[in-house]
Amino acid sequence: MITGTISDAKTKLPLAGASLRLKNSNRGTYSGKSGQFRLRAISQQNPILIVKSIGFQTKEIPIAESSEQLNIELIPSELRTDEVVVSALDVNGIIRKAIQEKKDNIRRVRTLKANLYSKLTSEILGKGIGSSTASSNSISFSANADGEQDTTSLVLETISEMFIDYPSQKQQNTIIQRRQTRNIDPESNTFALGKFINFYNDNIVVANTTFLSPLAEEPFGRYRYTLEDRQTIGDKFVYSIKVTPLSTLFPSFKGIIKIIDGTFQLIEIDLQPAEATPIPLVSNVRFIEKFEEIAPDTWHPTYLKSQGLGKASIVKGIFEIGVSLQATTIFTDIQPNIIIEDSVWKNKSVIIAKNADSLQTNYWTSNTVEELSEEEKLYYKKNENKRIDSMKSNRRTSNVSNLEFEPIFDFNRISGVSTGISFSSKKFDNTIIHISPLYSFALKDILIDGEVRYFFDSSQKHSAFVKGFSQMQTVGHDNSISKSVNTLGTLILGNDYYDWYKQDGWGLGFASEIFHIKSTVEFTESRHFTDTLKVTRSLFAGTEWRKNPTIDNGAYRTVQLTFLYGSVSLQQLKQFQYSIETQALFGLEYLSSRNFQRYHIQVQTLLPLIPTGYNPISLRTVISAGIADGDIPFQYRLRLQNVLTPYAPFGGMYTAPTALYNGTELFHFQSEIDCTDLWWRALGLPLFESRGIDLYIGGGLALLAKNTPDSRSTSTRTQHYSEIGFGLGRIPTFFSDVLFLRCDIRAGIGPLASGNIGWGLGITLPM
């Protein structure tokens, strides 16, 4: 192990970030904050250490076996300005050549094997919280009544062997050794940053914010480049080029990039987000990345130090939390373009070697490529006597003999307040037993739902189930709004979204996922009973309940087939998404031999239109279509979906009266354009946390017909029910930088909807 310090021969001050490489190898490291370095020498006859830093003369030092700690002084370079003529090549020309060299480097490196040192240092602080523990990749906090600030310091280190296949975008890390402060569960330490931020890429993503790299394909419309300085590294000149953004509308970096003259290779960057580029809940972000020649005319990033501060004020001055992060990644022993066996990719992306937690002091002494700072040593010492407590789930559950339970509360205008406890047991392999008994105070009866599900495989993609129930069921079997959300709407708004009837029976079925298609087939046999209003009013609203319609009582057998392909998630707004769900229902009322059937399909899409660096301007649509027998029982007819509360799923009508329209033929279209806050910032309107108000423009159209007259419901007949409107999102609450508001307003248009107004107010999160 070669250890020592590097300093400026003239000022005697330590040099941070100096490169150290063993000659004729790809083994190397960088000096730390105080100029210290550590490098394990490979078996090599007469090894020579090459030390270089921008602005200093390169030094080659023979390493003897008896060498003790080295104190290396680098001599500042005497820059002769007449040795390079910058005027012959403007700064944009330097950038263009660097972009081309970057593209060539990307093409040259197809695969990579390397040893990787990763270190994460974090300090967690907060107000209104108490001490913290960490395990299972999460951190928990206990309440702190006095509201004083508490801090917890964490350090995680790993040394791993890494394989990368760039064309296939595959990466595999095997953590050989790991260590961490004692307030971290070792099982949570899977920190191996092989796939770190690489400024060779055109787009750099930081906390869901996409920046254009200063060396992207065509960056000149986004950045201004200014030659700040010329330095040397060894016998070559280095251009220090200042990067400043030209626009405040899109996420951009500011800082310095350094490019070598002649070969025009990117050698170093020091960048941070521009002042006009906020990252939600994140600040003080900075990246320092260095590049080395890993083969003739082939360069690759070998060092990255990144830092940032995450801070969230749930309630400003009362409940706040902050996390400071600093991550260091250093590549050593890089081997480019090797053949990687297929067996490597059969492993998980990160695996832990058998003896990774052996805490071999000698191993860390011999392999750590960066000295711990005095602050990090203090963090280790501070946590010496701490231990890890078992993490508790955020749900209020208890594990007794493999039994989990949690309380249930439900409220609607028929069964009133219903309370109970949901039990789940995994006592048997691949089998889950679930039972949820509730007592309804309005019905003065017990409602119960139970299921036994057996999984045929460990992935839990294929299962069989049997269930029994005595429950309140929704008319139309809509289920687009969860019962918990409906409970809130009923209690607070006085708007019970559903109509209800009593259903007693049993069922069985199979569920499977093949080729990403989720399918379910379910048979049920049950008796249906009409019920009437049992509750006089909601908790806050004094509005009168609407009537609960009479259903077609009887004894029913049904078979339902459901197929779902794809999904639409608001966490993946930057890529095209879609889902297709189809349902087919075949039924029999066996006391009267009445057959019926219903078919329904729903297609959702989310299409990004214009990237903004944050969420893109996007178009979201949902189309529903269905048809049923004219003689289908009332409780199985197709229903027009509405919006009950701000938490209702996308696709419901805002202005249509709740549960008014149903029938046997349905076509429903909803669409919304998310304009983001780009328009607000383009107009130069006042900002909050450097962001503006999001704008949504949307509307919908529905046709709902019925083949037989029935006074219990209304259809649109040959006319359509339509609405149009807008929404404003990211409305600041000012008392919190985590909770924002969204307000939507819709106006009905056309003969059926004219004069109807609907609105919704909800809470959104900045991410």
Contact 603, 651 (CB under 8 A): no
**CB-neighbour burial class of residue 374 (10 A; exposed 0-12, middle 13-18, buried 19+):** exposed
The residue out of 382, 400, 422 marking a domain boundary is 382
Query: What is the rounded distance in angstroms from the CA atom of residue 548 to the CA atom of residue 535?
Result: 11
Question: Residue 740: inside a domain, yes or no?
Answer: yes
Contact 165, 144 (CB under 8 A): no
- Residues 52, 109, single domain; the answer is no
pTM score of the predicted model:
0.81
- Residues 48, 135, single domain; the answer is no
- Residues 69, 109, single domain; the answer is no
Question: Residue 441: inside a domain, yes or no?
Answer: no
What pLDDT does 565 receive?
97
- Residues 60, 109, single domain; the answer is no
Indicate the number of domains in the chain.
Answer: 3
- Residues 584, 685, single domain; the answer is yes
Among residues 548, 100, 532, 128, which one has the least CA distance to residue 313?
Answer: 128
User: 3-state DSSP call for residue 579?
Assistant: strand
Residue type, 234: G
- Residues 69, 100, single domain; the answer is no
The residue out of 359, 382, 405 marking a domain boundary is 382
Q: Domain containing 676: what range?
A: 568-767
Contact 154, 138 (CB under 8 A): no
Question: Residue 472: inside a domain, yes or no?
Answer: no
- Residues 67, 209, single domain; the answer is no
Query: What is the rounded distance in angstroms from the CA atom of residue 272 to the CA atom of residue 256?
Result: 9
Residue type, 291: F
Three-state DSSP string of 227-268: EEEEEEECCEEEEEEEEEECCCCCCCEEEEEEEECCCCCEEE
Q: Give the model confidence (pLDDT) of 44-70 as tens digits.
A: 677 888 898 888 888 888 887 656 688
- Residues 761, 618, single domain; the answer is yes
What pLDDT does 471 receive?
94
Residues in the chain, pLDDT under 50: 81, 87-88, 129-150, 389-400
Using CA atoms, how far residue 88 sits from 229, 537, 645, 658, in Å, is 16, 83, 65, 73
Inter-residue long-range contacts of 141-145, CB under 8 Å, 24+ positions, other chains counted: 141/321
Report residue 698 as tokens.
């949307």
Question: Residue 529: inside a domain, yes or no?
Answer: no
What pLDDT does 396 receive?
43
Question: Residue 715: inside a domain, yes or no?
Answer: yes
The residue out of 51, 74, 97 marking a domain boundary is 74
- Residues 137, 69, single domain; the answer is no
Q: Give the model confidence (pLDDT) of 598-631 as tens digits.
A: 999 999 999 999 999 889 999 999 999 999 998 8
What pLDDT does 495 receive?
87
Question: Residue 440: inside a domain, yes or no?
Answer: no
Report residue 175 as tokens.
């953590």
Four-residue CA torsion sign, 719, 703, 502, 552 = positive
What pLDDT does 150 receive?
47
**CB-neighbour burial class of residue 127 (10 A; exposed 0-12, middle 13-18, buried 19+):** buried
- Residues 590, 644, single domain; the answer is yes
Contact 639, 624 (CB under 8 A): no
Among residues 279, 335, 333, which one has the least CA distance to residue 306?
Answer: 279
End-to-end Cα separation, the chain, in angstroms: 45
What is the CATH classification number for the domain harbouring 9?
2.60.40.1120
- Residues 31, 97, single domain; the answer is no
Question: Residue 578: inside a domain, yes or no?
Answer: yes
Query: What is the rounded distance in angstroms from the CA atom of residue 484 to the CA atom of residue 492?
Result: 12
- Residues 100, 141, single domain; the answer is yes
Question: Residue 405: inside a domain, yes or no?
Answer: no
Report residue 587 as tokens.
């039924």
Contacts of 141 (CB under 8 A, 6+ apart): 126, 129, 130, 131, 132, 321
